[in-house]
């Protein structure tokens, strides 16, 4: 490829120039400005209620979570799933560890979660009808993409990508896609990207659970909790003055120890990260 200020040219392996459609990515200025906040991380923390609310409004109906949010072919694929393999790095890996508790505890499905940088370097036994799930905020994480490509001919039922960028390699190369729609995340520490990934993974758990023993009563209870989530998040944001005082009590400390057990263990890992 040859990239210049005026455009780009592409050639194939035979050195023949090829044409590709141009996609113009539209990013609104307000999405990459701090606005009233002191820094981007604070802004992105406070964006979480509205991002979660937007996902719920478009994806959680009176009948529950619709399978088609993962793609038009999702219903036919999901009814065959007997196990789940999750691959990711960093924050996305921690989201996957949380999802393992949901998939095994609610949907009754065996679930394995592995760090993408290690996934390819051992011989694996792929159980029949295993759904391969790769998670990446950008959709361009090198190790995660390598695993996605490696999985193509490895006997998996289908490949689901969970990411934040619709034009990313992960989104384009996966069989099914869940877009977290978190918007640009400028802060180094992940905030809204993490919580929207968890939303997608919980919705995946609910749709898979329907054919694996999750009762309608249990699903309905979770759906009601999801509908109340934006309001609960707003209540957490209102605690900012108390949290500031708490932080000031620790501002002279050089080390922190995060503790968690069970489903809270990966949350502690994310906090420590």
- Give this prediction's pTM: 0.89
DSSP bridge partners of 162: 135, 178
Residue 165 belongs to a domain: yes
Task: Provide the pLDDT for residue 52.
Answer: 96
Over residues 240-246, the mean pLDDT reads 94
Inter-axis angle of helices 192-209 and 216-237, nearest 10:
170
pLDDT-based confidence at residue 185 (cuts at 50, 70, 90): confident
Residue 252 belongs to a domain: no
Average pLDDT, the chain: 92
Over residues 169-174, the mean pLDDT reads 96
Smallest Cα–Cα separation from 180: which of 221, 146, 139? 139
Residue 238 belongs to a domain: no
pLDDT-based confidence at residue 26 (cuts at 50, 70, 90): low
**CATH number of domain containing 109:** 3.40.50.10490
The tally of domains found in the chain comes to 1
Looking up tokens 């040219």 gives 9
Residue 267 CA to residue 261 CA, distance in Å, equals 9
Residue 249 belongs to a domain: no
Residue 66 belongs to a domain: yes
Residue 29 belongs to a domain: no
Residue 243 CA to residue 222 CA, distance in Å, equals 28
Range of the domain at 155: 49-230+258-272
SS3 content of the chain, % helix, strand, coil (to 5): 45, 15, 40
Secondary structure of residue 267 in the 3-state scheme: helix
Note the pLDDT tens digit of each residue in 188-235.
889 999 999 999 999 999 999 998 989 999 999 999 999 999 999 999
């Amino acid at each position: 490829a040859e990239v210049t200020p005026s455009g780009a040219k592409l050639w194939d392996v035979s050195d023949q120039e090829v044409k590709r459609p141009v996609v113009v990515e539209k990013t609104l200025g307000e999405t990459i400005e701090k606005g009233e906040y002191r820094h981007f991380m604070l802004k992105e923390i406070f964006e979480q209620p509205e991002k979660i609310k937007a996902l719920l409004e478009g994806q959680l109906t009176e009948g529950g979570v619709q399978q088609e949010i993962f793609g038009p072919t999702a219903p036919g694929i999901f009814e065959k799933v007997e196990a789940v393999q999750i691959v990711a790095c960093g924050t996305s890996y921690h989201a996957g560890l949380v999802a393992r508790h949901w998939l095994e505890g609610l949907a009754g499905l065996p679930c394995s979660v592995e760090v993408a940088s290690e996934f390819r370097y051992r011989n694996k036994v792929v159980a029949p009808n295993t759904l391969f799930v790769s998670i990446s905020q950008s959709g361009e994480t090198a190790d995660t993409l390598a695993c996605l490509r490696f999985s193509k001919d490895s006997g998996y039922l289908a490949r689901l990508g969970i990411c934040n960028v619709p034009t990313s390699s992960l989104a384009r190369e996966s069989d099914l896609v869940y877009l977290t729609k978190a918007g640009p995340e400028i802060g180094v520490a992940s905030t809204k990207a993490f919580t929207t990934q968890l939303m997608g993974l919980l919705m995946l758990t609910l749709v898979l659970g329907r054919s694996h023993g999750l009762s309608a009563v249990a699903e309905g209870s979770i759906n009601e909790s999801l509908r109340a989530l934006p309001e609960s998040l707003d209540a957490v944001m209102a605690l900012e003055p108390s949290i500031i005082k708490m932080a000031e009590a620790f501002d002279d400390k050089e080390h922190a120890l995060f503790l968690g057990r069970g489903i809270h263990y990966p949350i502690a890992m994310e906090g420590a990260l």
